[in-house]
């Protein structure tokens, strides 16, 4: 089987956005949606995609405003990403199952609550709904929106952004929240992550995510209510080392009817990237059960 690297063009607020996607494998269609973060792209799904490609025709796609391709200046907001997700489902792939990580899982829940048949079986990896700054403070603050406006400014905005995505900050974030093994982020992998942050226009969506401006829900109740409205079973998987506040949101989903939960013995927010063999072993049986 061959890997197929491609890109599509989509429009946000009248501006053209180039978005990368990767196809691999054969079988029923499987959509893989990476997390939204300063260092996330579809590449974080590649090892998992390779393993699942033995059973599925997999498609991994970047989110607009993220990835490694140049991005226009856009006031990125949840309605744009929900519109993009509907476009993917209608024009790119009609999946038998969908895997979504981080905030992508939140967006999938929001859309699947309206159209549950469109996504197939749902597998949510480290599902989140609240960005880093609101999670740290426990609430949304006007200050965060002010920081977003500052990052949008020419020159000074780029400086502020760079202070938050240098190697030291990325390393601290990765060791604290993202990867269980502090040595996993090798120099080669760090270079790949830095390339994501240095793509032209990267700061516009990236900092909005950090500030909570891309949160798909306003509170936990709305997050859980969307899951309740989905009439089919949902698999939620997360790593045993997931940060406490994020893990509380994930285990909260586990208490809902028709939500199945898998806690891997190791791993933090990006456990599926760090431990793809174990992740595949844990989620494949669920994905392969078709009604």
pLDDT in tens, 35-74: 999 999 999 999 999 999 999 999 999 999 999 999 999 9
Tell me the pLDDT band of 140, cut-offs 50, 70 and 90: confident
- What mean pLDDT is predicted for residues 151-167? 87
- Cα–Cα dist 19/23, whole Å: 13
Phi and psi angles of residue 121, each rounded to the nearest 5 degrees, phi first: -65, 140
Q: By percentage, how much of the chain surpasses pLDDT 90?
A: 81
For 23, the domain range is 4-287
Q: Which of 28-37, 140-149, 281-290 is modeled with the greatest confidence?
A: 28-37
pLDDT over threshold 90, residue 141: no
Coil, helix or strand at residue 31: strand
pLDDT in tens, 193-223: 999 999 999 999 999 999 999 999 999 999 9
Specify the range with the lowest mean pLDDT, choosing from 40-49, 72-81, 171-180. 171-180
3-state helix, strand, coil in the chain (%, to 5): 45, 20, 35
Stretch 143-157: mean pLDDT: 88
pLDDT over 60 (residue 291): no
Backbone φ and ψ of 27, nearest 5°: 125, -155
Q: What tens digit of pLDDT does each residue of 260-285 get? A: 999 999 999 999 999 999 999 999 99
Give the tens place of pLDDT for each residue, 226-255: 999 999 999 999 999 999 999 999 999 988
Give me the pLDDT at residue 88, please. 97
pLDDT value, residue 136: 85
Q: Is the pLDDT of residue 117 over 90?
A: no
Residues whose CB falls within 8 Å of the CB of residue 219, separated by 6 or more in sequence, listed in order = none
**Tally of domains in the chain:** 1
- In this prediction, residue 290 carries a pLDDT of 60
Residue 224 has pLDDT above 50, yes or no: yes
Report pTM: 0.95
CB 140 within 8 A of CB 212: yes
The CATH number covering residue 201 comes to 3.40.50.1820
């Amino acid at each position: 089987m061959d890997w197929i690297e491609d890109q599509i063009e989509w429009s946000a607020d009248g501006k053209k956005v180039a978005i990368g996607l990767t196809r691999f494998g054969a079988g029923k269609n499987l959509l893989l949606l990476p997390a939204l973060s300063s260092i996330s792209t579809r590449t974080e799904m590649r090892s998992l995609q390779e393993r699942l490609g033995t059973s599925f025709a997999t498609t991994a796609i970047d989110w607009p405003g993220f990835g490694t391709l140049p991005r226009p200046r856009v006031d990125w907001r949840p309605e744009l990403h929900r519109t993009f997700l509907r476009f993917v489902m209608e024009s790119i792939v009609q999946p038998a199952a969908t895997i979504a990580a981080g905030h992508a899982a939140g967006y999938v829940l929001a859309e699947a609550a309206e159209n549950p048949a469109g996504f197939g079986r749902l597998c949510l990896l480290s599902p989140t709904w609240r960005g880093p700054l609101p999670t740290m403070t426990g609430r949304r603050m006007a200050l965060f929106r002010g920081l977003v406006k500052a990052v949008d400014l020419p020159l000074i905005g780029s400086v502020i952004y760079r202070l938050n995505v240098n190697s030291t900050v990325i390393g601290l974030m990765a060791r604290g929240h993202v990867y269980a093994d502090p040595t996993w982020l090798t120099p080669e992998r760090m270079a790949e992550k830095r390339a994501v942050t240095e793509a032209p226009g990267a700061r516009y969506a990236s900092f909005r995510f950090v500030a909570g401006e891309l949160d798909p829900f306003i509170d936990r109740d709305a997050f859980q209510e969307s899951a309740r409205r989905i009439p089919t079973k949902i698999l939620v998987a997360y790593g045993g080392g997931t940060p406490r506040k994020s893990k509380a949101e994930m285990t909260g989903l586990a208490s809902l009817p028709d939500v199945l939960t898998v806690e891997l013995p190791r791993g933090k927010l990006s456990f599926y990237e760090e431990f793809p063999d174990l992740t595949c072993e844990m989620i494949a049986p669920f994905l392969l059960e078709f009604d």
